Every structure is written in structure tokens, then in C-alpha cells.
Structure 1
Amino acid sequence: MQRRIRNSAIIGLTLIVLLSGCGQAKTPAQGSGSQTQTPVTQPTPTPAPTPAVPESKQLKIKVYYGDENAEKLVEQEASITYKEDSDKYAAALKALTASPDSKNLALLKGFTFNSVALKNGTLTVDVSMAPESRLGSGGEAMLLEAMKKTVFQFSEIQSLDILLDGKAVDSLMGHMDLPHPMKRG
């Protein structure tokens, strides 16, 4: 029985010694055997990195509108904003949908760009247009010329293919032939 009490006491003392050492920082001895404790600092948690948001880029380009009599194209300088380089073509075309002043006509007013994609030098533009967007033959010719002049100022674009609601049509508004694709020239 004494042996059992002695073993229990040894185990108990061992546990007390082990548990009393938990959570305390070990410090090196300094000077003549005296020990000083350095405060334990908790590391500050580092915030999780947030995904990088691409910064907006700006570019000055030339855009084309119809004059107030809808007889000729008028060139104006505009500034477009985009995030990715592949978005600059859509931003350039969207600039044609609204005129900055009342003297010039936005030839693409009422147009929606479903997709704009560059592949192997060909810019494919899929548009939808509202019924009120339809122009006469002169307006349609100016619209196509405005789109070509706007996109062909980007040297990487060699041809332009315009689709209407995802389909290659013979004419955008029924007046002018619409080649697939239109070549730079």
C-alpha cells in the first residue's frame, strides 16, 4: 500500500512540475544566476491578401460622329477608360453610342454590344440594335465607316466582322452590303 501511495505521489508531483512549466517562456540566465523574464508578444495576424483589382487605364482615341445634317463624318478626340487591354475595343465602340455635344449625331445610338473579341487580327463585334436605330442608306454608310475608322486606329486589328444578334447578315440595316470581314484598307 505504501508503494502505491509513493508511486501516486511521484506521479502527482511530476504532473505538477510539468503543468507549472506550461505557458511560461524560457529565458536565458543573465548575470549571477538571476533570471529575468522577457514578455511574450503575440504575433499580430496578417490579413489575408485581397485579390488585386486591375487599375483602370485611360486612352485618348479618335471617334467619329455624323455632322448635324447627317451628311459627313466628324472626327473628335475622346478619352476611353478600360481595365484590361482586351476591353479597350468595346470601350472605343461604346464611345460611338453617345455624342458629347448636340452638334454631332451618335450613329450607334440604340446599339448594344453583345460581345467584342479580337482573335488572330480580326475584331468580331456582335451587336443588337433597337428599331429606332435604323438609318437611311447614307446613315448606314457613315455608321459602318465610323466603326471601321474607330477600330482600325488600333494597329493589331486587321479586319472587322460585324454580326447582328450573333448572325452574319448581308446588310446591317438593309441598304449597304456588309462584307464578312471588312479588311483594313
Structure 2
Amino acid sequence: MAAKKKGLNGDQKRKILLILRILLLTAAVLYLLFFLYNNYFVQNKVELYFASADANYLRVEKRTIDEESDLFIQLFEELKAGPENSELTKTIPTASRLLNYELEGKLLTLNFSLELRSNHWGGSTGEIMTVYSIVNTYTALAEVDKVRILLDGKQVETLVGHLDLTEPLMYNQKLTEDN
């Protein structure tokens, strides 16, 4: 005698389809929540670049910023405040101020007070860490590709004598740790 195949009856098929629909709907809701969270609630995280303890590299420190305040000014104030991680070192002289800025296309021109130069601790490595701490922090933003640095509204050749500032600068991956 041949064995009779036992199939699912109509009621069982409806239950399985209902379970599949519930699972699909749950997956869609979870995806939507993940998408909304990443696009609307995580945007106030920024990357700041500070010098490593040996001043050979820049390392990222993520911070949460106030979405209501001016982003470009906030970034500079956070850089000036220094790192929260004790393994990193400050790159911006405390008395320095960002006087103003202008974003034209993807070029950001930052106009700093003269204290950025006059209170700087000097040296070629210190200058590189300061300049690229600024440049890498701002070019980490989607709207900025290049940064021009001015002092008291004037273009300068260098900050403290070592690094050419006559042209806009781009993100420097070679200076970042784990490049």
C-alpha cells in the first residue's frame, strides 16, 4: 500500500502565512527605527582630531554637540577645550578665537585671532598637529573638502614658520593614527 502524503490543511496554511506576515512587518518596523535613529538622532556626533601623547599622530575623539548652536564655532571651541581622553594632547592655544568663517562651495575659510600664532608653543611638529587638528576636524564634515586658514583676516604664509598655509588644505590621512 502506498503511503498517503499528509499536507497542511487550509487553517494551518493561514496560520503560517499570518506568522510570516507578522515577522515581515516586525523586520520592516525594526529597519525603519534603525534608519530613523541613525539619520535623526546620531547627527549631533562630531569627530575632533587631537594629537597623540607622542605628538606623532592625530587621533579621533567623538563628541556630542548642541544642534541649536553654530556648528563651525562649536567645533573650534571643542578643539580649544582639549581632549577628554588623557592619552591625547591639546592642539589649540587656549586664548585663540575663531573670529569668523565663510563656506563657499566646499571650501571653508576660517579666520582666527592672532593668539593662534602668538600663544602657540612652536616647533614644526606642534604646528603640523595644530593645523591638521583643525583641517581634519572640519573636513570630516560632509560639507567641507578644503580649509583655508587666515589670521586676523589676512592670509599668512605659515602659522609659526614651518607649514605652508598659502593654499587651502585637505584632510591628511597620513597624520591620523591607524592610517
The two structures share one fold, judged by TM-score above 0.5? yes
Structure 2 residue aligned with 1:66? 51
Consecutive unaligned residues of structure 2, counting only runs of 5 or more, are 1-42, 173-179
- State the TM-score, normalizing by the size of structure 1: 0.61
CA displacement 1:106-163 (0-9 Å, x = unmatched): 1013221111221222211001225332321011112222112111111211321110
- The Cα shift of 1:183 comes to 4.1
Q: Aligned pair in 2 of structure 1 residues 74, 184: CA closer, same or farther (>3 Å)?
A: closer
Determine what percentage of the aligned residue pairs are the same residue. Answer: 27
Given the two structures, how large is their TM-score scaled by the length of structure 2?
A: 0.62
Highest Rg: 1 or 2? 1
Q: Tell me the equivalent position of 2:101.
A: 116
User: Which residue does 1:157 correspond to in 2?
Assistant: 144
CA contact (8 A) 1:123 1:161 kept: yes
Cα distance, 1:70 vs structure 2: 2.2
Deviant stretches of 4+, over 4 Å: none
Distance 1:138 1:79 in 2: 28
**Greater percentage in strand:** 1
Report 1 or 2 for greater relative contact order, CA contacts < 8 Å, sequence distance ≥ 6: 2
1:89 corresponding residue in structure 2: 72
Change (3 A) 1:164 1:120: same
Which has more helix, going by share of residues? Answer: 2
Deviation at 1:59, TM superposition (A): 1.1
Distance in 2 (CA, whole Å) between partners of 1:88 and 1:105 is: 22
Is the Cα–Cα contact under 8 Å of residues 150 and 156 in structure 2 kept in the other structure? yes
Counterpart check, 1:143 vs 2:130: yes
1:42 corresponds to: none
**Structure-1 separation of matches of 2:58 and 2:171:** 18
Structure 2 residue identity aligned to 1:104? L
- Say how many residue pairs are matched: 127
1:126 corresponds in structure 2 to 111
Q: Aligned AA for 2:132? A: E
